[in-house]
Amino acid sequence: MADKTAPGPDTGQLGRFDRDAIGFVSEMGRTYGGIVRVKLGPFVVHLISDPDAVKHVLQDNAHNYTRGKFYRNFDLFFGRGMLTTDGAEWRERRQLSQPFFHRPRLRERASVITDCAEDLVAQWELAADRNETVDITDGLMTLAMGVFGRMFLGVDLRPRSAELQPAVRFAMAAVLRSGSAAQLLPRWVPTGYRRTVRRHQRTLDAVMNDVVERHVRGEVEEETVVTALLGAADWSREDVLAELKTLFLAGHETVGCTLVWTLLAISRQPEVRRTLEAELARVLGGRTPTAQDLDELVYLKQVVQESLRLHPAVWSYPRDVVADDTIGGYHIPAGSSILLSSYMTHHDRELWDNPEAMDPQRFCPARAAEVNRPKYAYYPFGGGARKCIGFEAALLEVQLVVATIVGRLRMDLVPGLPVAMWPKASLRPTPNVLMTATRAGTAP
């Protein structure tokens, strides 16, 4: 019997996808299941959320799925970096950067994270004393830039946050293909959109060029990712800049988003906050956390894991299909595309009880063992050989930053502030999240 065509709507869906991608993919999953065939403009796309199907694409038959057409706009800001390449070219780039993301090295440098977190807490304590609100999105994105720059580039990027943040926000939207007229016009057409693209490109290039020049002049003494890339055989300055922009944009953006969603979730869940505060008080006693403390901060880890389930910073993984394939009994034709959606999987009612609720106890080892979900029921950092190179760094940073902030401050969302999801290359909250800060011990 020939493979079946996967179920899905009969009409094109690009407009709905552009207007509300999260709402659209969620509805498709509820209506048609874990493998859905849709037309997005001229493209045939299969939305995949079934864990076994995700495993097939990311792990079992990964060689048949490449970055492809949905990554073509990524070259606007990323160039040919680790995110956009495949095969031997990708492996070379991964191997050059991999040593700097090994867990022992990250833990040795964990004080960089807590130093940046302490600086931010000090700013927010002053705001608390003045009864001022704080923009936690800007603050946490700046923190993430500082941590990434110091840990991997040998340069603190926080002083350049004011120019970098608008460029990053624009880039996260621009790299995702849509049906907008601005994107569909040839790049050589001199539109206002193209002028904005070039302006933000110049910002990112200027910052990364400055990082490289500091290394060339010998101003950075430690071994960094930049050192490794500059020492790579046959690499041009353009190659180095592309890789640095890739690592920077992907490396700090996902962490910043996760930090915002996590503090937002804690502020909305009084019982979660009380339980976390009690654990932090018991383990830390008011001092700054260390990487070694994380082994005892079990509930903290569960809070972060649940936050990543509810709002995975990378909510979708596009792929192109190289050769005809069969997934779940459905025909997947060569030349079509796949969109794996971690958001869909993480909110699947067949996999997660009451999936919209914040429940860190889902990740209690004993409870997780009882449920025994499939491996790819949860994949906030992707999977297979191309699992995010920075997942260990991200988990370390998010846990240490959350522990530092929640141990010192009570953060409360400004009443009446609507917060929605902005699903572009990353899953950002929109608008920026405003909170009030209260020093620990004085909170109601």
Cα–Cα distance, 107 to 287 (Å, whole number): 18
Amino acid 177: pLDDT? 63
Full pLDDT tens readout for the chain, 444 residues? 457 999 999 998 988 998 899 999 999 999 999 999 999 988 999 999 999 999 999 999 999 999 877 777 777 787 788 888 888 888 999 999 999 999 999 999 999 999 999 999 999 999 999 999 999 999 999 999 999 999 999 999 999 999 999 999 998 888 776 555 555 555 556 677 778 888 999 999 999 999 999 999 999 999 999 999 999 988 999 999 999 999 999 889 999 999 999 999 999 999 999 999 999 999 999 999 999 999 999 999 999 999 999 999 999 999 999 999 999 999 999 999 999 999 999 999 999 999 999 999 999 988 878 888 999 999 999 999 999 999 999 999 999 999 999 999 999 999 998 999 999 889 999 999 999 999 987 645
344: in domain:
yes
pTM: 0.94
- Provide the domain limits for residue 285: 14-439
Burial of 264 (0-12, 13-18, 19+ CB in 10 A): buried
9: in domain:
no
Amino acid 397: pLDDT? 98
Inter-axis angle of helices 237-268 and 270-284, nearest 10: 110
Total of domains in the chain:
1
Amino acid 70: pLDDT? 75
Instruction: Give the 3-state DSSP-derived string for the chain, with helices as H, strands as E and coil as C.
Output: CCCECCCCCCCCCHHHHHHCHHHHHHHHHHHHCCEEEEEECCEEEEEECCHHHHHHHHHHCHHHEECCHHHHHHHHCCCCCCCCCCHHHHHHHHHHHHHHHCHHHHHHCHHHHHHHHHHHHHHHHHHHHCCCEEEHHHHHHHHHHHHHHHHHHCCCCHHHHHHHHHHHHHHHHHCCCCCCHHHHCCCCCCCHHHHHHHHHHHHHHHHHHHHHHHHHCCCCCCCCHHHHHHCCCCCCHHHHHHHHHHHHHHHHHHHHHHHHHHHHHHHHCHHHHHHHHHHHHHHHCCCCCCHHHHHCCHHHHHHHHHHHHHCCCCCEEEEEECCCEEECCEEECCCCEEEEEHHHHHCCCCCCCCCCCCCHHHHCHHHHHHHCCCHHHCCECECHHHCCCCHHHHHHHHHHHHHHHHHHEEEEECCCCCCEEEECCCEEEECCCEEEEEECCCCC
6: in domain:
no
For the domain that residue 330 is a member of, what is the CATH number? 1.10.630.10
8: in domain:
no
Amino acid 188: pLDDT? 57
Amino acid 71: pLDDT? 74
Closest CA to 246 of 83, 9, 127, 93: 83
341: in domain:
yes
322: in domain:
yes
Amino acid 1: pLDDT? 45
Amino acid 197: pLDDT? 87
5: in domain:
no
154: in domain:
yes
